[in-house]
C-alpha cells in the first residue's frame, strides 16, 4: 500500500513540474473581422414601392457588420424596368456592396448587357445608388448592333441606353449586311 501511495505521489509531482503543452492556433486566419452572415448560392430580391427592381444571384455572399460591406463571389444581377420586364443584366467574378451608401462594385470579367443587345465589358465598375448610374475610370468596350467603342472611363444609365465614354481609343461602325 505504501508503494502505491509513493507511486501516486511521484506521478502528481512529475505531472505538476512538466511544462504545459499549448495547442497551436493559426493566427493568420483570425486576422480581421469575421463575417456576421455567410451564404452560398444566394438569391436576393430588391424592390421599391412593391415593384421588383433587381435580383442578385451570388455563389458566395459574406456580410460584415463592422465594415458595413457585403462581399460577393460569382455574381449575376438582373435589372428590371418600370414594367417589371428584365431590362439588363450584369455578371462578374467578384463584387462588393457598401451597406451604408448601397453602392455596388463589380470586379473581374465584368459584363453588362441590355435587352437591346448593348454589351459592356470592363474589369471594374461601380453602380451608384444615389443617381442609379454605372461609372468606371477603367478600360471599357461597348458593342452594339451598329458600333464598337473602346476607351477609358464611362458613365451610363443602368439600362445602358445612354452612355458616354470619356477617353475613347477606338471606334468602329458596322453597316448592316444585306441578304
Mean pLDDT, rounded, of the chain: 85
Nearest residue to 141 via CA among 110, 162, 116, 115: 110
pLDDT tens column, 71-109: 999 999 998 888 888 888 999 999 999 999 989 999 999
C-alpha cell at 51: 415593384
Per-residue pLDDT averaged across 126-141, rounded? 92
User: The pTM is what?
Assistant: 0.75
Strand 86-98 with 104-114, pairing: antiparallel
* Sole residue written with cell 463584387: 95
Where does 34-173 sit in CATH, by number? Answer: 2.60.450.10
* Sole residue written with cell 439588363: 88
Percent of the chain predicted with pLDDT > 70: 80
pLDDT at 178: 47
Amino acid at each position: 500500500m505504501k508503494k502505491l501511495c509513493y507511486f501516486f505521489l511521484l506521478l502528481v509531482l512529475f505531472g505538476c513540474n512538466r511544462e504545459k503543452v499549448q495547442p497551436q492556433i493559426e493566427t493568420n486566419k483570425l486576422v480581421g473581422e469575421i463575417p456576421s452572415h455567410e451564404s452560398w448560392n444566394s438569391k436576393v430580391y430588391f424592390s421599391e414601392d412593391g415593384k421588383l427592381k433587381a435580383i442578385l444571384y451570388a455563389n458566395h455572399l459574406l456580410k460584415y457588420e463592422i465594415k458595413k460591406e457585403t462581399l460577393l463571389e460569382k455574381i449575376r444581377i438582373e435589372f428590371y424596368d418600370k414594367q417589371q420586364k428584365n431590362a439588363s443584366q450584369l455578371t462578374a467574378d467578384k463584387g462588393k456592396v457598401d451597406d451604408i451608401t448601397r453602392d455596388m462594385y463589380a470586379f473581374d470579367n465584368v459584363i453588362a448587357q441590355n435587352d437591346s443587345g448593348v454589351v459592356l465589358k470592363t474589369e471594374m465598375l461601380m453602380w451608384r445608388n444615389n443617381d442609379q448610374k454605372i461609372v468606371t475610370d477603367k478600360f471599357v468596350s461597348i458593342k452594339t448592333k451598329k458600333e464598337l467603342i473602346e476607351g477609358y472611363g464611362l458613365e451610363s444609365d443602368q439600362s445602358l441606353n445612354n452612355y458616354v465614354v470619356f477617353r475613347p481609343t477606338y471606334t468602329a461602325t458596322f453597316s448592316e449586311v444585306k441578304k
